[in-house]
Amino acid sequence: MIENLRFQESFNYAYIDEFTKKEIRRKTLKAVCIPGYQVPYASPEMPISRGWGTGGLHLTLSLVGPDDTVKVIDQGSDASVNACNLRLFIKEMAKCAVTFDTAAATIIQSRHRVPEEILTEKQILVLQVPQPEVLRRVERHEAKTRIMHAEADYAKIWVTLYEAYVRSGTLRNGAGHPILVNGRYVATPSPIPSWDVPNLSMARCLYLFGAGREKRIHAIPPFTRVEPLEFDDIRFKVEEFIGVHCSASGQDKAFMDQIYAEDFSRFWVINDSNFLDKVRQGPRPSQRLFTNPE
Amino acid sequence: MSALAMAKSYDQIFDGQKHYRTLLQCTARPGMIGQLDDVLMEVPAPLNRATTLIALTLMSADSSFHLEQSAEQAMDLLCRETLAKPATAEQADFVLIADARRFEEIDRARTGNLAYPEQGATLVVQVAALSPAPMPDSLRLTLAGPGIESEAAVFVSGAPVELFEALQKRNVEFPLGVDSFFTCDSLSAGPCVMALPRTTRVKWEPVSEWS
């Protein structure tokens, strides 16, 4: 067997030096104090490229201790290349336990999904965010978006929602529906599907969002009001999987992936890999399900 | 915890990590009283152990702190161990209030600006005791806001009503404001901390008798 020499004792515990960790920690605390506000931070160099999960990695490594159990998911899957590499890196650097089991993890680092299973008080969900600035699509200049946030001037984001409705007949504009956090800041939930957005509101766990390339941290504390932006007459809706069942488990009421077979026929499978394992093996874990308004 | 288990000196990596997680949980859930594992350490007056542990966890050479001028030994300890710089109350990132009865620094602490509200100071206020249960001569704080499901109650002794009035005045213009940690050293539980971020709405009433 080839010995992995890359991770031998030449780095500080959890890779990042203590001085830099303290900075991330101070900024994370401020992010929790001002829900939805993006706190700038130093975003130190990592052995992976910016934009590949460094923000999530900074948060996870500043949180993790030897008693923690870490789970890493990428688009719902524990087994994708990115998730495997990050998990191995965190495990080797922090000497912590790792798991696939959502319920057993104390820190969950995720890209593009919130787990289906309800998270508890003891858990922290760290989300990797490619573009934390929800206003960037409508305003190029950082100085101006800062003023817009300061003045709670979100008119332009409402216009994009209106335009999405005019074009497509729904408010959905790809993943990452804009959210209003605690009635003050409009933020991005990171590119999670609309299916996951209602789970951010009044949750029992703490949500931390790290954007390494953009050097921003924001947070949603537990039991915080999070409202997806919607109009009085045109309401926010989650994805509907009508008449669709998971081909691996026969179950429904979970976020589904559509998969093409070689003969171009299509089938569906539950996206959250650990949730899929659990529904196949035993009782279905409890979920928070959102009912679309009429 | 036995005296033997306590007899270890401060480890900046692992104690710092554990204490940070406690501070993060407390900040995310205002009203929760977190226990910081005690370590073998001489703490000069007027600092208590919990405040010192918070300083060791969060302060570094790129942050500044304010502490009353008379506390020379305590200043030395903080400068030496964290490399943070002393500053005036108007400029400091961390404003340490050694005695909750003398809280005039609250009115001078930074609240940030609208573009950068995170530049508001972090206050660390030392009180006589914190408890989830009523104590004689204490204030009952009723808390609501992010992090709290409906309402949380916590009892603080050794802090005057005026302190919470001053805090409320400072935090009236969200997102501007100051975030506070309240600390005490409890005989039974060791160094304890409770957080009141700027988003928490606080109501208070005095508890005069034992109930």
Residues A122 and A182 in one domain: yes
Fold type of domain B3-207? Rossmann fold (3.40.50)
Facing residue for A22 by CB, picked from B60, B116, B198: B60
Are the beta carbons of A66 and B147 separated by less than 8 Å? no
Per-residue pLDDT, averaged over A177-200, amounts to: 96
- A232 within some domain: no
Partner B contacted by A27 (CB < 8 A): yes
B2 CB-near residues (< 8 Å, 6+ apart): none
How is residue B196 written in tokens? 């009141």
Chain A residues within an 8 Å CB radius of B147: 32, 221-224
- A148 within some domain: no
Could you say which DSSP state residue A285 is in? P
Over the stretch A236-253, which tens digit does the pLDDT of each residue have?
999 999 999 999 999 999
Q: What percent of chain A has pLDDT over 90?
A: 90
A169 CB-near residues (< 8 Å, 6+ apart): none
B161 vs B166: CA distance, rounded Å: 9
Beta bridge partners of B181: B124, B195
Residues A191 and A277 in one domain: no
* A 223-282 → B contacts, CB under 8 A: 223-225
pLDDT band (50, 70, 90) for residue B2: very low
Taking one residue from A and the other from B, the number of pairs with CB-CB distance under 8 angstroms is 106
By DSSP bridging, strand B94-97 and strand B122-126 are parallel
Partner A contacted by B151 (CB < 8 A): no
- A294 within some domain: no
B196 vs B198: CA distance, rounded Å: 7
CA torsion sign for A149, A152, A155, A157 is positive
Model ipTM?
A: 0.95
B-chain residue closest to A14, CA distance: B13
pLDDT at A190 over 70: yes
Residues A67 and A203 in one domain: yes
**Distance of CA B31 to CAs A30, A204, A285, B165, B201, Å?**
17, 15, 30, 17, 11
Residues A178 and A257 in one domain: no
Q: What percent of chain B has pLDDT over 70?
A: 95
Spell out the domain ranges in chain B: 3-207
Residues A188 and A267 in one domain: no
B-chain residue closest to A15, CA distance: B13
Chain A nearest-CA distance from B21, in A, is 7
Per-residue pLDDT, averaged over B50-67, amounts to: 96
- What is the extent of the structural domain holding A247? 240-284
A204 vs B149: CA distance, rounded Å: 9
How confident is the model at residue B210, as a pLDDT? Answer: 55
Residues A179 and A39 in one domain: yes
How confident is the model at residue A10, as a pLDDT? Answer: 75
CB A206 within 8 A of CB A32: yes
A192 CB-near residues (< 8 Å, 6+ apart): A112, A113, A114, A127, A175, A176
Q: What percent of chain A has pLDDT over 70?
A: 97
How confident is the model at residue B209, as a pLDDT? Answer: 62
How confident is the model at residue B38, as a pLDDT? Answer: 81
B170 vs B103: CA distance, rounded Å: 12
pLDDT at A149 over 50: yes
Based on the structure, what is the number of domains in chain A?
2
pLDDT at A1 over 70: no
Residues A130 and A248 in one domain: no
pLDDT at B3 over 70: no
Quickly tell me which residue has 């007027």 as its tokens. B46
- A152 within some domain: no
Residues A215 and A248 in one domain: no
Residues A75 and A34 in one domain: yes
Q: Which of A197, A55, A216, A27 is nearest to B27 (CA)?
A: A27
